[in-house]
Chains A and B, each alone.
Chain A
Amino acid sequence: MSLAQPPADNIVAKAFANRSFVIGFAITLAITLMALLSYIWTPYDVTVLPVADRLKTPSAAHWFGTDHFGRDVLSMIMVGARNSIAVAIVAVGIGIALGVPLGCWAAARGGWIDEILMRFNDLVFAFPALLTAIMLTAIFGPDAIIAIIAIGIFNIPVFARVARAGALSLWPREFVLAARASGKGQGLITIEHILPNIASILLVQATIQFALAVLAEASLSYLGLGAQPPMPSWGRMLFEAQTRMMVAPYLAIFPGMAIVLTVLGLNLLGDGLSDVLDPKLRRER
């Protein structure tokens, strides 16, 4: 993606003319609305366990069926979306809040500061979110917060690298030299000239990381390292469905579909965004 493009005039109109963006945006919006709706209304209450209704196949009353405690799967998926989205937002937020300043700092200073920061980055990068989560769980016990922190830590080096790479290519540019000749310091130049010009690559990276975070949250809660019961989560629904695959396959299919759809939606959104924000790249493709 090329940096330092002039601002496009009708960016919104362009975005909605892009097919991947529209589909991705629609899916993401639908899932977000579903999560929000779950705060005020779900078809059934997920905290009561009407064991009499257990393992009902999908029907008009229970669209996605019920699980082994008789809870409505649709309601659980709706409440689970909350969890997935919240974890992803905070985790990506941690990544951006720490990674971007780190990357920009490394690019601005260069030399041994850059070297130390980036090697430390490599070190963090070497631990997958899963490993960090297991480590933290061993110390603090399982909790949703642990999953957030683990995924967040995993995101820091990703954003640090993207920000640094973008910033490095901008520092030798003449408009940055002119700003330096105007006596602006590294901090001010980073805020005024570097950040606005790398914002688009960061945004695209954020949607990709968001999809990865949803996936990571699902795998952590599948292993029991994420949100704890009674809070429903997509990953644990899959785990619980696993032993009943033969009797009640729909228990695995619907949460699985929810995960796939969310990740797909976010990926399409990211794809569309990168096309819209960088028309040059799109033409070359």
Chain B
Amino acid sequence: MSLLRIENLSLSIGKLPILKDVDLTIEPGEVMALVGESGSGKSMTALTVMQLLPRGLTARGKVSFNGIDILGATEDQMNALRGDDIGMVFQEPMTALNPVKTIGEQVAEGIRWHTRCGRAEAEDRARRILDRVGLPESKFPLSRFPHELSGGQRQRVVIAIACALKPKLLIADEPTTALDVVLQKQILELLKGLVDEDRMGLLLISHDLGVVADMADRITILRHGEVMESGETARTLSEQLHPYTRQLAQASMHVPARPNTHAASSQAANLLEVEQVVRDYPGRRTSLFKREPPFRAVDGVSFSMKPGQSIALVGRSGCGKSTLARMILALDTPTSGEIRFMGENMVGKDETALRPFRRNMQVVFQDPYGSFNPRHKVERLVSEPLHLLDDKPTPARRREAVAAALNEVGLQPADMDKYPHEFSGGQRQRLSIARAIITRPKLVVADEPVSALDVSIRAQVLDLLADLNQRLGVAYLFITHDLTVARAITDEVMVMHDGKMVEEGRTGDVLDNPQSDAAKALVDAAPDLHRAIRRRLQEQG
């Protein structure tokens, strides 16, 4: 008998269908991956199994867990199952924990509730499971609060809570999306270990085929609430029988065409020179007159960039790459060091003196939702950098410029009278790019420009960026933790670790043959679809 059997599950809000006849089974000790793009119904499927659906949704079909009919179960029956036989791990470790309770209390809470055991025994068991997820007593006593832990450690606590009672089924909804690749690998290994040891079934929800290929025994691909294909992972992903599977796989490995690369050895003068840049943040105030020593976010970084070159700045989260980017954009001031753009030092210049620099460098942010003022229309948002021009364009000229920029990024001129919330995530990222190129800058700094996007959209946006680089000769500084993106679109890569630049070189060389420990760890941890499929097929012979 299957551990979890979902048959003909349909979900709808009023007349709007969310899921259509979804079938899925999980055996004990098996990892089943549920893959799809945003809005495909992955999370809704998981919430149905937990009976945690938002109000207003009606479910039809059959969901049986270990012989229990979930859709027909009462709230009391579900309460007994949740956290005991079925555990759940959420995406965002920052919000999945209660900030005012210690980690010990939060892990012990579920144990006490389900087993009705005493406090001492519950804490003892909590201690053991925290040890098991890699948070040993000596360094992480039960009395720690969530804010005292890093993101990866918090996700371990969340997993400890979910696995405290050795559930038969664990549902992990994008458990590593908020973490950097090195932490991602650690968490995935932890989950894998738990599955192998306890013969737990794991429903792994992910949008990342690389992760899935590494982890899952079987895979179900969901699109618009319908199952497109399901089967054994390596075979499904290597044969790619279903066109949508092929589309997803190709999109996630997509490399845009870039015939002319701008090599660093070219004769042109440097566009950007960063020299010995240091950024200290003042330490926490410990008393009225005392402070902790300052925190050095960026520690003596130097590099240079040629016009038209595309460089990736990679590193784990917290390595200082975003701080460096903000200093290059003159949004933050270095504690010491020089940043020369087009041959002139920008450090210490006031806003008026910075205008000619700003005209030539723009920025694209990660979050296509947060990078627009929700109360302005597209025309006003995209034309914002025109403010930097010395002779302000007339309203008619301004509309022309916006229309041209929208055309450039594949949107319609008519879109300029809409509000940003009327666009999808990918379209918004196009708007963001339109805003960045409207003044024809020489440098665009892109801070994780595609990490928040679905794979197929990501491929399109990468194409667009590559195309603009080719046509307009814009130089890119890509800040990313995703090595596939770095590989796809950059000529050179720089690796940062703990505020220092530890390695730089041609993208292919660094990623294929990393020298420094930090670069090795990144390359080693990065999920790679090809490699994973090859390994799995070898294992199966």
Closest chain A residue to B367, Cβ basis: A174
> Which residue of A178, A180, A182, A183 is within 8 Å of B365 (Cβ)?
A178
Docked Cα-Cα span, A4 to B432, in Å, equals 17
13 further interface pairs, Cβ-Cβ under 8 Å (given A4-B373, A183-B354) = A174-B367, A175-B371, A175-B372, A177-B326, A178-B384, A181-B362, A182-B362, A182-B387, A183-B385, A183-B388, A184-B384, A192-B376, A196-B373
Tell me if B351 counts as interface (CB < 8 A to partner A): yes
Tell me if B531 counts as interface (CB < 8 A to partner A): no
For this complex, 22 residue pairs linking A to B, each with C-beta atoms less than 8 Å apart, are A4-B374, A5-B374, A6-B374, A6-B421, A7-B374, A7-B419, A175-B381, A177-B331, A178-B363, A178-B372, A181-B329, A181-B363, A181-B385, A182-B358, A182-B387, A182-B388, A183-B351, A184-B384, A188-B387, A192-B373, A192-B376, A197-B373
Q: Please report which residues of chain B, range 387-431, place their CB below 8 angstroms from some CB of chain A when the two chains form the complex.
A: 387-388, 419-421
Most buried by A among B361, B365, B371, B384: B384
B354 and A6 within 8 A (CB): no
A residues near B116, Cβ cutoff 8 Å: none
B373 and A175 within 8 A (CB): yes
A residues near B370, Cβ cutoff 8 Å: 173-175
Docked Cα-Cα span, A232 to B373, in Å, equals 48
Tell me if A261 counts as interface (CB < 8 A to partner B): no
Interface size, chain B (Cβ < 8 Å):
31
The list of the 7 closest CB pairs from A to B, nearest first, reads A174-B371, A6-B421, A6-B374, A182-B385, A174-B365, A183-B358, A183-B388
A180 and B421 within 8 A (CB): no
Tell me if B435 counts as interface (CB < 8 A to partner A): yes
Tell me if A193 counts as interface (CB < 8 A to partner B): yes
A residues near B326, Cβ cutoff 8 Å: 177
B362 and A6 within 8 A (CB): no
What total of A-B pairs shows CB separation below 8 Å? 72
Docked Cα-Cα span, A6 to B326, in Å, equals 27
A residues near B387, Cβ cutoff 8 Å: 182-184, 188
Tell me if A144 counts as interface (CB < 8 A to partner B): no
Closest chain A residue to B435, Cβ basis: A178
Tell me if B242 counts as interface (CB < 8 A to partner A): no
Distance (Å) between the CB of B239 and the closest chain A CB?
41
B residues in contact (CB < 8 Å) with A = 326, 329, 331, 351, 354-355, 358-359, 361-363, 365-367, 370-376, 381, 384-385, 387-388, 419-421, 432, 435
Docked Cα-Cα span, A16 to B471, in Å, equals 53
Closest chain B residue to A176, Cβ basis: B373
A residues near B367, Cβ cutoff 8 Å: 174
Tell me if A110 counts as interface (CB < 8 A to partner B): no
B363 and A179 within 8 A (CB): no
Tell me if A50 counts as interface (CB < 8 A to partner B): no
B residues near A181, Cβ cutoff 8 Å: 329, 331, 358, 361-363, 385
B residues near A192, Cβ cutoff 8 Å: 373, 376
Proximity string of chain A (43-65) to chain B, C-beta cutoff 8 Å, 1 when within and 0 when not: 00000000000000000000000
> Which residue of B354, B361, B384, B419 is within 8 Å of A179 (Cβ)?
B384
Closest chain A residue to B354, Cβ basis: A183
Q: Please report which residues of chain A, range 183-198, place their CB below 8 angstroms from some CB of chain B when the two chains form the complex.
A: 183-185, 188, 192-193, 196-197
Distance (Å) between the CB of A279 and the closest chain B CB?
13
B residues near A179, Cβ cutoff 8 Å: 373, 384
Most buried by B among A5, A173, A183, A192: A183
A183 and B355 within 8 A (CB): yes
Distance (Å) between the CB of B358 and the closest chain A CB?
4
Docked Cα-Cα span, A136 to B385, in Å, equals 50
B residues near A177, Cβ cutoff 8 Å: 326, 331, 363, 365, 371
Distance (Å) between the CB of B479 and the closest chain A CB?
13
B residues near A183, Cβ cutoff 8 Å: 351, 354-355, 358-359, 385, 387-388
A residues near B421, Cβ cutoff 8 Å: 6
Docked Cα-Cα span, A197 to B366, in Å, equals 21
> Which residue of B372, B374, B376, B384 is within 8 Å of A182 (Cβ)?
B384
Distance (Å) between the CB of B94 and the closest chain A CB?
16
B residues near A6, Cβ cutoff 8 Å: 374-375, 419-421
A residues near B384, Cβ cutoff 8 Å: 178-179, 182, 184
Docked Cα-Cα span, A6 to B358, in Å, equals 28
Distance (Å) between the CB of B441 and the closest chain A CB?
10
B residues near A4, Cβ cutoff 8 Å: 373-375
Docked Cα-Cα span, A188 to B373, in Å, equals 14
Closest chain A residue to B374, Cβ basis: A6
Closest chain B residue to A7, Cβ basis: B375
Docked Cα-Cα span, A196 to B375, in Å, equals 7
Proximity string of chain A (1-37) to chain B, C-beta cutoff 8 Å, 1 when within and 0 when not: 0001111000000000000000000000000000000
Docked Cα-Cα span, A7 to B374, in Å, equals 7
A197 and B362 within 8 A (CB): no
Distance (Å) between the CB of A179 and the closest chain B CB?
6
Closest chain B residue to A199, Cβ basis: B375
B residues near A180, Cβ cutoff 8 Å: 331
Closest chain B residue to A184, Cβ basis: B387
Docked Cα-Cα span, A92 to B510, in Å, equals 63
Closest chain A residue to B420, Cβ basis: A6
Docked Cα-Cα span, A175 to B385, in Å, equals 12
B residues near A184, Cβ cutoff 8 Å: 384, 387
